[in-house]
Amino acid sequence: MALDDATTALLAELAKAGGPPIAELVPAQARSVSTALGDLSGVGPRLHAVRDDTIAADDGYDIPVRVYSASDSTRGVIVFFHGGGWVIGSVDQYDALSRRLAQATNCVVVAPDYRLAPEHRFPYAVRDAWDATMWASSSWPDEPLIVAGDSAGGNLAAVVAQRAVAESGPPLALQILVYPVTGHDVDTVSYLDPANQLLLGRDTMIWFWDHYAPDPATRLSPEASPLQGDPAGTPPALVLLAEHDVLRDEGEAYAALMADRGVTVQLTIFEGQMHGFFQLINVLPGAEQAVQAIATHVNTVLGA
């Protein structure tokens, strides 16, 4: 199926702007490009409360975190890890989406600004994601806890879900994985499909991996590639994938692995969408459709 009209129009506008692909940039330049793309989403909805805080990491680093509340009646907590290949992306860039998630689910959304590579390579992002989850659990001990993320953030959510089982961590009510990075094989059918070389292409994903985990042996760790781990005992999963995405095959493979290991999985593939559509709230209609799918599923899990 072809890309939808909104995505086609956006790509045409981006092509007019020109500029080299991310894989030809240094991280600082790539972050500037990513920020500009995030700015397209504009301002998210006004909420009951939005506050910035910090989380003390085990190594003494203070992890910035932003907490979004749509009301003063908390029904659950979503720890949301932003995407960006562990190299780009930020809480500020995802502010509009985080606000919309809080509004749509009426859950507190906890968005950590985990440390990025190459300044902080694997496993720093994993450590920060775990610390943020533990902080959320201790801050709202009586509320259902959900981990969520898109792309590299989906990778972190899946890793945290596995670690919570392995280390008897806080019980999780749900994991929401939006086109997650679950493996490191860049020669799958979806990786090699020319139709999938869009906002995220094979070359860019190789660039991300080379900055995050340059040692190929490191990528075999389940905390880098959840497909290498055992998801048995992890919470029910909502997996949202894009039809035109180099990561589609590994997303489907991880959904199948979870189902095989007894995890309840709901998988949806958004036709006509590309990798990155979810973060473009207020720009691509598919983003709002994904938010609605998440809200519906959260209502089912937590009780409408």
Find the helix or strand (DSSP H, E) in which 177 lies. strand 174-178
Cis omega (within 30 of 0) on the bond before 180? no
Predicted structure pTM score: 0.98
Catalytic residue flag (residue 184): no
Phi-psi region of 85 (alpha: psi -120 to 50; beta: other; left: phi over 0): left
Three-class secondary structure of residue 44 per DSSP = coil
pLDDT tens, N- to C-terminus, the chain (304 residues): 799 999 999 999 999 988 899 999 999 999 999 999 999 999 999 999 999 999 999 899 999 999 999 999 989 999 999 999 999 999 999 999 999 999 999 999 999 999 999 999 999 999 999 999 999 999 999 999 999 999 999 999 999 999 999 999 999 999 999 999 999 999 999 999 999 999 999 999 999 999 999 999 999 999 999 999 999 999 999 999 999 999 999 999 999 999 999 999 999 999 999 999 999 999 999 999 999 999 999 999 998 6
Q: Which residues, at least 6 apart from 141, have a Cβ–Cβ distance to it below 8 Å?
A: none
Active-site option among 82, 184, 244, 275? 275
pLDDT recorded at residue 189: 98
Q: Residue 267 corresponds to which amino acid?
A: L
Catalytic residue flag (residue 151): yes
pLDDT recorded at residue 74: 87
Active-site option among 95, 113, 245, 249? 245
Catalytic residue flag (residue 275): yes
Rounded-to-10 torsion of CA 155, 86, 35, 94 = 30
Active-site option among 90, 98, 137, 151? 151
